[in-house]
Structure 1
């Protein structure tokens, strides 16, 4: 039984260690998600402030050109989640009995009436159905005579009849009481230990499930990290391209603000800037994750399309 108790304590401690590891992993994922959110938000904000707004300020100076030709866009706002939504791991509740085991010994309180009741049952049966050494039914006797006869019965009869008498009977009754208490304590101890083992087995299954989910979350977080890096790279490339072309476009508009007088080269330059602006808006407003925290397929397609169009512009 001592081995069972030690095993229960060891298992509970192991479960607490696993639970702490899961909590630490979740905290790392939450921190990583927050950093990804901040980095992506910064990239969006820089593209908006340094490229899109300056371009549109110049574009609106063109005559007979309506701003509705440009894709609608709003200033980036904080709040779009990039990482996985934090899921708080549940802490393992340690039963008081387990805490008692960890600190020392398992204490089982057994009411004293158990032993007395165990002794009283056989004693009453002998009083009802037993016979004294004289052959007279004990139930016909009263008071001390009945008690003496019953005790002598447990001592295998009176000393005169060759038995152990009342003294031996009392020893037998005491033995019945002691044995009953010990057996009851053992039964209760085994029941409590079994309960602890069942509880720890349930916790082990729960921890197994949570560790599986944590592994999936870590894999998803790694994939999201790579997708976020790709998105930030595209946002940076768009900003770099727009800012790089902005001086030439600004000079074009300042020299002539009437598109009707532009030749094919200048019209192509305006069209390219409008196309870049629309591409930037598309990338900026593309969500990386959905409402369930899963990475969207759309973001992968948008990134690939933006990279292909940027490469094509470089060769023009």
Structure 2
């Protein structure tokens, strides 16, 4: 039994450590999601404020714009979710009280064995009073009061002292032994059953922790992949911002010099078209989610990033 108690205590403590590690991993993933969301939102906001708004202000001053239209875009909303949020692992009910109860088997027994011992003692006493006989040969059940009690106790003491028995004192000791023996046997049975029950519960918690650890490992892998996708998205947003801001002074000067698109030559029209193209790429990236409704990384975000990067490289050679 002692080995069972030690094993159960060790398993309970191990379950507590595993549960604590899972909660710490969960907190780390949640914090990573918050940080990446904030970084991506900052990149979107900067692109919007420093590149898209100034470009559109200048573009609206152009007259006769009938070749292109700008896609509507709203200011990025703070707090939109872009990070992954792993499912919350359930906290195991592995409490200090449970470990303490396992460590001290006496704490597992609350009132039951003493009551059983008393019942055993009372049962034996009633049986002798019903079926036993006094030293005189008279049935004890025909006696009453002190005479019946004295005869019953003397019976357990193997008769009165005068007849060579142990008398009432010996009988009382026998009754006490019946009480103690019954209580101890019952206590041992209860302790064994409760330890087995608690051990089974801890083993089930361990199996649940196995499942949670597998799910957490998958969530960590997904979070790592999402982290890389988020970094790629931020880089593309920054590249678009840099390109738009770099071209913006030339475009603004072009509009200030002449605000009638119909009077532009091929070179100036090409410059307008390039800026509109960059604007469209920026809108496409800003509106592209990197996770879906089920918090899985979208394949479309990878394709958008690749397409925008290819277009930016092509513009450098034009």
1:101 CA drift (Å): 4.2
2:33 equivalent to 1:33 = yes
Decide whether aligned partners of structure 1 residues 62 and 95 sit closer, same or farther in structure 2, where only a CA change above 3 A counts.
Answer: closer
Cα RMSD (Å): 2.8
TM-score (norm 2): 0.87
**Segment drifting more, 70-79 vs 266-275:** 266-275
Query: Over residues 70-91 of structure 1, what are the superposed CA-to-partner deviations in whole Å (9 max), with x where a residue is unaligned?
Result: 0101112211112123655444
TM-score (norm 1): 0.87
Determine which of 180, 183, 193 is the counterpart of 1:181. Answer: 183
* Aligned residue number for residue 251 of structure 1: 253
Count of residue pairs the alignment pairs up: 316
Query: Over residues 59-104 of structure 1, what are the superposed CA-to-partner deviations in whole Å (9 max), with x where a residue is unaligned?
Result: 1121122698101011122111121236554444444642534886
Whether the aligned pair in 2 keeps the contact of 1:58 and 1:253 (CA below 8 Å) is: yes
Looking at structure 2, the residues matched to 203 and 171 of structure 1 have their Cα atoms a distance apart, in angstroms, of: 47
* Aligned residue number for residue 142 of structure 1: 144
* Aligned residue number for residue 192 of structure 1: 194
For structure 1, list consecutive stretches of 5 or more residues without a partner in the other structure: none
* Aligned residue number for residue 7 of structure 2: 7
Query: Over residues 141-178 of structure 1, what are the superposed CA-to-partner deviations in whole Å (9 max), with x where a residue is unaligned?
Result: 33344334333433445567776554543332221111
* Aligned residue number for residue 126 of structure 1: 128
Looking at structure 1, the residues matched to 96 and 110 of structure 2 have their Cα atoms a distance apart, in angstroms, of: 14
* Aligned residue number for residue 172 of structure 1: 174
Whether the aligned pair in 1 keeps the contact of 2:22 and 2:89 (CA below 8 Å) is: yes
Looking at structure 2, the residues matched to 79 and 148 of structure 1 have their Cα atoms a distance apart, in angstroms, of: 87
* Aligned residue number for residue 77 of structure 2: 77
Query: Over residues 21-57 of structure 1, what are the superposed CA-to-partner deviations in whole Å (9 max), with x where a residue is unaligned?
Result: 1222122112211221121112112211222112112
For structure 2, list consecutive stretches of 5 or more residues without a partner in the other structure: none
Whether the aligned pair in 1 keeps the contact of 2:105 and 2:191 (CA below 8 Å) is: no
